[in-house]
Amino acid sequence: MYGIISSPDFIDEIKKAIENETIIFEESGKFSADAFVQHCQSVSAAQIHTLIVDINATDDLGMIKGIRTIRMKRKSRIIVVAPGREPGDLTINTLLKFQVFDFVAPSLSSIEGYEDDEDDEDDEELLQRKPLSIYIQEQLKKEASYANAARWDVGSEEIILKQMQEQTKTKSAEGTKTPKETQKSRSGIEGIEQIEELEINPPAIREKQTLVETIIGTVIIAVVGVEPTAGSTHTAILIADFLSRKGRNVSIIEANNSDDFSRIANAYDGLAGVPNDEQFFTIEGVDYYKSNYRYDVPELLEMSYDYIVLDLGSYRDTVYMEEFYRAHVQVVVGHGIEWRQGKVYEFANEHRHRDQSKWIYCIPTVNKLIQSDVQKGLGTGIVHVIPQHPDPYKSQRDTDNVLETFLKEYMGQKRKKTSTRVYMAAIILLSVIVIMLFIILYLKN
């Protein structure tokens, strides 16, 4: 299963190179460093065996931070498409430290369709050109090993020498730049050099890693129903309220058109039936965003939520299924009664081309025998039974135990705050010391 993050320039060629393969993640554009890192966070949560990333999709520092993000969680194969880059390139040299061994970097003039300076080339050179997709396919056939990437591992002395030569060649051209442009170009090089000096070695890769304790700041939990009456909203609220009671900063998004959140807000305020156009409200410490809110992940991430819970509703009705595939935690809600189980299997069958091994299937109020039957029927994923829980705003120990079971690896550890008793003890001790000093000074006089 493949993932792609590319600039618009090369997205078609990359897709052509893997046209017969399954692509479960795809983003195309010119991204800011923060947006690129966010896409890499999504990749790290997906079951992708090969990621193809275009080095022109972001700036060099963003590329390094993004690849580092993936390596904190995944050891998937990463192929970097970098036309025109040459050995001695600081960015590629740094990516080697994160065990990235695949670089597709033909010269621009050797790529079919590259137009610049075409008039200066003879017919033989033009005939030797080939599409970028062919270069990518050739790289895919190679083994991802250091031996195939050794030519990019240029020592620090060689890089410095190369930089000095380039600076000498471009010194006069730099004089025509504005001070702001010159400063910007230098700061980019210095930023990469600082990362070079860190000599970061990728940590031991753990397939199960607590996300809150890594550089992934916000965990996205997507809840989807196999049919309109499955109970995705109820389950999403149970999860959000559980996390909030654990002291986490949580938001829940109505990523469907049911308009249930408006009715919840009115019922909570005792204003049933009263029109209300507000997009946002809070209950029990959880921030609710109604369906009229324009779902904007970057905007929500800036609010520093620990968790964002997406209530997608029925999978056939929501337009946000892509967010389900990208989420860190994927929860599927369906009925376990025998004559309704078919909807669960139907959902799983429609997604058979996707890796469902970590998908969490929540079946409400059934016994262990039915739970076992559903698990056997699915053959993959993890089936949990949600106890009968009429009021999602009231905690139940049995429900909390189930939620704790499948969310624990995403819970992390919050730093313990210094208790009030410790502060009081310190103040009392300090007061005693001050009084004793005054007594000693008084006696001396």
What does the block give as tokens for 316?
């056939």
Same CATH fold assignment for domains 2-198 and 211-410: yes
pLDDT at residue 314, as a whole number: 95
Q: What is the pLDDT of residues 113-136, one digit of tens each?
A: 765 544 555 555 566 788 999 999
Give the burial string for 182-217 (b: 16+ CB within 10 Å, else e): eeeeeeeeeebeebbeeeeeeeeeeeebebbeeebe
User: 162 CB contacts (<8 Å, ≥6 apart)?
Assistant: 88, 154
Label residue 429 exposed, middle or buried (CB < 10 Å: 0-12, 13-18, 19+).
Answer: exposed
Q: What is the pLDDT of residues 24-40, one digit of tens each?
A: 899 999 999 888 988 98
Cα separation, 359 vs 325, in Å, equals 10
Please tell me the pTM assigned to this model: 0.48
Domain ranges of the chain: 2-198, 211-410, 418-445
- Is 63:36 a contact under the CB 8 Å cutoff? yes
Q: With pLDDT > 90 as the criterion, what percentage of the chain qualifies?
A: 36
Q: Which of 27, 65, 32 is nearest to 216 (CA)?
A: 65
Element containing residue 91 per DSSP (H, E): helix 90-95
One-letter amino acid identity for 214?
T
pLDDT at residue 124, as a whole number: 54
Per-residue pLDDT band at 441 (split at 50, 70, 90): confident
Measured N-to-C along each axis, helices 179-198 and 156-174 cross at an angle, to the nearest 10 degrees, of 180
Cα-Cα end-to-end distance for the chain = 84
Measured N-to-C along each axis, helices 60-71 and 33-44 cross at an angle, to the nearest 10 degrees, of 20
What's domain 211-410's architecture?
3-Layer(aba) Sandwich (3.40)
- Is 3:21 a contact under the CB 8 Å cutoff? no
Coil, strand, or helix at residue 26?
strand
Residue 145: Cβ within 10 Å count: 10
Cα separation, 360 vs 330, in Å, equals 6
* CATH class of segment(s) 2-198: alpha beta
Q: Which of 362, 368, 345, 370 is nearest to 407 (CA)?
A: 362
